[in-house]
Structure 1
């Protein structure tokens, strides 16, 4: 768990530093090259710095052990950061959409090859960051890293729109394609919709976890199958599990022979807890309630 948390923190630090460098690069290049699309992309990237900083802070907070005020740990700090990233993406989507729609009613600007190169560099850089962070996020089961990864993906869309828009402007001038001058705002509108979709998915997942939605049915079924392998478990009354950021808390109720002693019940609870935690390393707590079970004999009349 400690190694996974270290990997998650490293991924967020790399993302934060990259966002700072790319934001400065895009804004400076946009101003020097008089490229509105590059400048808008840089302003959008500035929001990513805030989102990544929030993800970094939450990831550090989630590592704190449980205390009297937070007996289940601080894992949901990552989920709060994930929801914050979703809000940043919603604002970015509206920003890109409004800017793109406004550009449709303005004279097209002059494009140049340096602006295209800067946009292409951002596209490649962000794609690499997305692939890296999504792999680390899934491996560490870190909501904040996954939110950062999807934030990078939104930037990939934005940079792709910039590349398409600037590229169409450059080639449109050479080929006398008047319509190509408006390729950038049209691509920007499409990107705004894609970013909005990403924001919805991240936000929905965060709200579901904060509302303590059950984990996937397939995972619950695996837990139940594990419980059935234990002969002392005579009945499965309920199996629930909820994500708490980067870890899972499981709650089970099972029926055991009614004449079991407290010691036997205690030993069985420890055994069931170990069974589930050995199967799923994301589980950090298993709360077990034992219900009395008594075999009923079938009475037949002669």
Structure 2
């Protein structure tokens, strides 16, 4: 089940990489030959989405590497490290696009881009929206926050393409209607897209740094995990549950209470059932660490379980 989830998530990441690569190449070539600053900036924005998809892919593959002596909690931080490198590159690219657009504005714009730049932008908008819908639905289905976040990056690329469309279209109208001031809409749109790239780079830097540190899920986010533990036969109470994000997956530490009159072996079996239940019900849970405590609020002991046909009677029942 977990391998199937990883395979589907990896396929989704590859769709983003290949799709954005083709779009970036197309928009880059058309933008260069058409003379559109906005379309060139939009091409770099698509290239930035490649970086985001690569970070997701690194995280998915790192999750498959089993824990070792030096990395007992797995290799989920690899995604965050890759994201930091990628986001810094995005910030650099954003500054370069902004500088180029500003220079074009101050040096003067004397002609509009070629009309076929509009066709390239329209193709980009359609493809990017299709990629957003695919990856968002896949992320929801697999419970992958990394895929969902990457899908929203595709949606932001749609907005940058719309900005480029306004810039190129406005410049073309200005040339047809002999309105020179409208020619400046193309480099201005390039500047807007540059700001979007800078914003994405900054956001990725902050998120990557945040994810590199141990981040515990809030109580409302971990409530369904607590409810799942309480549903396991033999668990009387959840004393403490901490779910730590480790890259794009979660590691759960849980302290639970059981009837203190059962044997150590029975307590161990309850803990094992809790771990199996959490990892089968929540595909984003990578590992579960269990600590079993005796429940002692006074007799008789509360119990949430019912006799199972294949269980031997114990003091729990």
TM-score, normalized by the shorter chain, greater than 0.5? yes
Once the two structures are superposed, the pairs formed by residues 136-175 of structure 1 within 5 Å of their partners are 136-142=138-144, 145-146=147-148, 148-175=150-177
Unaligned 5+ runs, structure 2:
300-317
Q: Is the 8 A contact 2:215 2:244 kept in 1?
A: yes
Q: What corresponds to 1:37 in structure 2? A: 38
Once the two structures are superposed, the pairs formed by residues 1-80 of structure 1 within 5 Å of their partners are 1-46=2-47, 48-49=49-50, 52-80=53-81
Secondary structure at the counterpart of residue 237 of structure 1? strand
Seen in structure 2, the aligned counterparts of structure 1 residues 141 and 99 have a Cα distance that, compared at 3 Å, is: farther
Shift of 1:52: 4.2
Provide TM-score, normalisation by structure 1.
Answer: 0.81
Q: What corresponds to 2:285 in structure 1? A: 283
Provide TM-score, normalisation by structure 2.
Answer: 0.78
Shift of 1:267: 1.9
Match of 1:122 among 121, 124, 132: 124
In structure 1, C-alpha distance between the alignment counterparts of 2:113 and 2:133, rounded to whole Å: 30
Once the two structures are superposed, the pairs formed by residues 69-108 of structure 1 within 5 Å of their partners are 69-108=70-109
Q: What corresponds to 1:300 in structure 2? A: none
Q: What corresponds to 1:244 in structure 2? A: 246
Q: Is the 8 A contact 1:140 1:246 kept in 2?
A: no
The superposition leaves residues 82-136 of structure 1 with CA deviations (integer Å, 9 ceiling, x where unpaired) of: 4444334433433343333333323124222112212222222222223322333
Seen in structure 2, the aligned counterparts of structure 1 residues 77 and 268 have a Cα distance that, compared at 3 Å, is: same
Secondary structure at the counterpart of residue 287 of structure 2? strand
In structure 1, C-alpha distance between the alignment counterparts of 2:59 and 2:49, rounded to whole Å: 15
Shift of 1:251: 0.7
Count of residue correspondences: 297
Runs of 4+ more than 6 Å apart = none
Secondary structure at the counterpart of residue 67 of structure 2? coil
Secondary structure at the counterpart of residue 241 of structure 1? strand
The superposition leaves residues 228-281 of structure 1 with CA deviations (integer Å, 9 ceiling, x where unpaired) of: 456754443211001223432111112334444211211221233244334423
